[in-house]
Structure 1
Amino acid sequence: MTRRFSLLRTVVVASADDSASVLRTRLLDAGCEVLATLAPDAALSGHLARLRPALVVLDAASDARSLPALVAGAGGAARIPVVVFTDDDSEPSIEAAMAAGVSAYVVAGMQSVRLRAVLQVALARFRHEQKLHAELSDARHKLAGRKVIDRAKGILMARHKLTEDQAYQKLRTMAMSKNLKLEDLAQRLLDVEDLLG
């Protein structure tokens, strides 16, 4: 008996019924919970929002250039890992799929013995990319916060003839006394400065 993927709620997206049926059967054999088989059409995003799958498996047959972007975009803000099975090994199609955020692009490789491993690699890659995106977002947020604090220090240094360290200490003391984050206090100072001209 096949061990089930933990909470791997899967949606199959396919244009042709026969290939969708084969793919669905193989996913079930691999231990996936197949929630639905959907067509790649305008209603796809609504279906994905309602079903909230952990994985989307796309049978792109030979038209793999535009479908991965459609499926990846259909997930909206809630990014979903997408695995593409296709016969299209053209470089433009592969590049388009990677640009769309596809987690795995498998050409002529839907053998049952490999399916579980392909899905596991796709999920691991997706989690890794999500972690990198979160780290990048956090770094950008910290950098933006640092710039706000530096601008606020500059205002204090100019207005009160303080050194950089004195301006930072003044901001820090004021933030602590008002129970605010340093960045939030600095932003308030910048807002007041903009208001007063």
Structure 2
Amino acid sequence: MSRLRLKDLRDLSVIVVHPPDADGKALMDQLKRIGCRAELMWPPAKALPSGTDVVFAGVFFESQGALASMLRKSEKPGPTVIGVVNYENPAMIELVLDINAFAVISKPVRTFGMLTNLVVARSNWMQAADFHDKISKLEKKISGQKKIAKAKSILMEMHKISEREAYGTIRAQAMGKRISVEEMAVAIINANELLSSRPDDV
């Protein structure tokens, strides 16, 4: 599993989505002390700059729609979002959850705690990204196994052969055509559907 090192923070591209007030300046100053490549943006743009790693997002009711829209349009898997709030109540918590924040810092912004929040949020983001990647690979593997099982079933019924013989046929055909077993299985399924369709269905 990926692990964040403190020296990796210097390679992060950080966007601070916040008005250029005292809190916005404090955020920028501390990020520059940490060594991040930071840029202040206000109001929220239609999209984040390409390659954005982290977003410190000022959470305001009047700009929440634009902020959420900008983050949804970001490159996948999306940046690490840290909310910046000036008070705490159920409505504000809902706004923070809406932008999928990994951490929250309060205003007035202080230097203490920013580094910890950045490291914890980025580490949790990396862990979530690893889990997402593993889940995607498992889903792809399961999908491939289902296609192979269906192709085997088609061959077993069509040629009255065993499951082992059906898989051997698929594998041999795949090797001969220099494609994967899954791709060969899809070809068999598609061919069977084409041959099974009635003239009226075409």
Give the structure-1-normalised TM-score: 0.82
Residue number in structure 2 paired with 1:132:
131
The more displaced of 125-134 and 166-175 is 166-175
- CA RMSD of the aligned region, Å? 2.6
Is there any run of 5+ residues in structure 2 with no aligned partner, and where? Answer: 1-6, 197-202
Residue number in structure 2 paired with 1:180:
179
> 1:33 offset after TM fit, Å?
2.0
Please state if 1:12 is matched with 2:16: yes
Please state if 1:87 is matched with 2:118: no
Which of 20, 34, 37 is the aligned partner of 1:33? 37
Give the structure-2-normalised TM-score: 0.80
Q: Secondary structure at the match of 1:175?
A: helix
**Greater relative contact order structure (CA < 8 Å, 6+ sep):** 2
Residue number in structure 1 paired with 2:190:
191
Aligned pairs for 1:1-197 (under 5 A) are: 5-15=9-19, 17-34=21-38, 36-41=39-44, 43-45=45-47, 47-49=48-50, 52-60=51-59, 69-77=68-76, 79-108=78-107, 110-197=109-196
Percent identity at matched positions? 23
Q: Is the 8 A contact 2:174 2:184 kept in 1?
A: yes
CA distance in structure 2 between the partners assigned to 1:110 and 1:61 by the alignment? 15
CA distance in structure 1 between the partners assigned to 2:90 and 2:66 by the alignment? 15
The more displaced of 62-71 and 121-130 is 62-71
> 1:63 offset after TM fit, Å?
6.8
* Count of matched residue pairs: 190
CA distance in structure 2 between the partners assigned to 1:17 and 1:162 by the alignment? 75
Q: Is the 8 A contact 1:68 1:102 kept in 2?
A: no
Is there any run of 5+ residues in structure 1 with no aligned partner, and where? Answer: none
Closer/same/farther in 2, CA of residues 84 and 171 from structure 1, 3 Å limit: same
CA distance in structure 2 between the partners assigned to 1:6 and 1:69 by the alignment? 26
CA deviations 1:102-155 (Å, max 9, x no partner) are 221234584312111110111111111111111111111111111111110110
